[in-house]
A and B are shown apart, each in its own frame.
Chain A
Amino acid sequence: MPLYTAPNLTEGMDEALIGTVAAVPEFTPFFLLFVFSIVLIGGIVRQKTRSGSPDVPMWFSIASLTTLAIAMPLTFTSGLLQLETLAIVIAITIISGFWLFLDRNRNEV
């Protein structure tokens, strides 16, 4: 028994993605979480290696903005991204801005 019904791959990449999201609604939120985590953890580790101390608020903001930039094109077609997910991405981006601007340390932005 398959875990989910395989999408029709003959109608293009976008239809395959929409079919995948229809079968597994958590696909898009976890994809965005994956992008966010890659940028956040990669940036922190790389900066810690380079300069000794990571600027976590800055990388949190960059990861949020990167996730928002990737989420925006997903709104072109219905079925890829839920409105609630987009609202949460924007809320996290705004919170990251507050954290960055209220951070007491001297950061690189």
Chain B
Amino acid sequence: MGEIKFIVGLTFAALFTIAIIAYVLNFGADNQVAINLADDPDLSPTKTNTESDLTTFTTSINSSSGGFFKSDVESGDELLRGGAQFKTGPKEIIGTTKTAASLGFSKIFGSDNQFGIILTTFISLLIFIAILYVWKSWRGNPD
């Protein structure tokens, strides 16, 4: 797995999250079901927050790609000095993972802080992996 597959996986997972929640919400609205997921206090905010994170991700990608396509390299220049093009994706998309993981965590384990270290460790691990992938794409294989 490289940075491309990592970002694609996180993006597809975020879109999958929005699709599942939207499907169940619309299923309930269309069929006027007795047990409506819209009554759950956590699901709708999760969908909204994930959509907001993806919008931020799209805006950042557009901004960095615009700068990249307008850039040029003079002879002898040091290439991609800031590495912004590689840093944009992982930094923005991990927020969607945190939102969806928080939902799953609260629904399965409850809101007890005793298990909070699981979610914190998982997000930290993803950020650590993202840093290594960015470095690998930017400068080569990390030692």
Interface of A with B (CB < 8 Å)? 68, 72, 74-78, 80-84, 86-88, 90-95, 97-98, 100-104
Instruction: Judge if B72 is at the interface, Cβ distance under 8 Å.
Output: no
Checking A81, A88, A90 against B35 with a beta-carbon cut-off of 8 angstroms, the contacting residue is: A81
Instruction: Judge if B100 is at the interface, Cβ distance under 8 Å.
Output: yes
- Contact residues in B for A87 (Cβ distance below 8 Å): 37, 40, 42-43, 107
> Is the beta-carbon distance between A91 and B103 smaller than 8 angstroms?
yes
> Is the beta-carbon distance between B9 and A101 smaller than 8 angstroms?
yes
> Is the beta-carbon distance between A83 and B20 smaller than 8 angstroms?
no
- Contact residues in A for B24 (Cβ distance below 8 Å): 68, 72, 86, 90
The closest CB in chain A to the CB of B40 belongs to A87
- Contact residues in B for A101 (Cβ distance below 8 Å): 8-10, 12-13, 16
> Is the beta-carbon distance between B1 and A91 smaller than 8 angstroms?
no
Min CB distance A17 to B, Å, is 14
List residues 70-110 of chain B with CB under 8 A from any CB of chain A.
Answer: 97, 100-101, 103-104, 107-108
Min CB distance B125 to A, Å, is 11
- What is the interface residue range for chain B against chain A? 20 to 34
> Is the beta-carbon distance between A98 and B100 smaller than 8 angstroms?
yes
Q: How far is the CA of A78 from the CA of B6 in the complex (A)?
A: 42
Q: How far is the CA of A84 from the CA of B21 in the complex (A)?
A: 15
Other than the known A75-B37, A86-B37, A94-B100, what 11 A-B pairs have Cβ atoms closer than 8 Å? A75-B27, A87-B37, A87-B43, A88-B107, A90-B20, A90-B24, A91-B104, A91-B108, A97-B13, A101-B16, A102-B13
Min CB distance B62 to A, Å, is 23
Instruction: Judge if B141 is at the interface, Cβ distance under 8 Å.
Output: no
> Is the beta-carbon distance between A78 and B16 smaller than 8 angstroms?
no
10 A-B pairs with C-beta separation under 8 A: A75-B36, A76-B34, A86-B35, A90-B107, A92-B104, A94-B16, A94-B21, A98-B13, A101-B8, A102-B10
Q: How far is the CA of A87 from the CA of B97 in the complex (A)?
A: 18
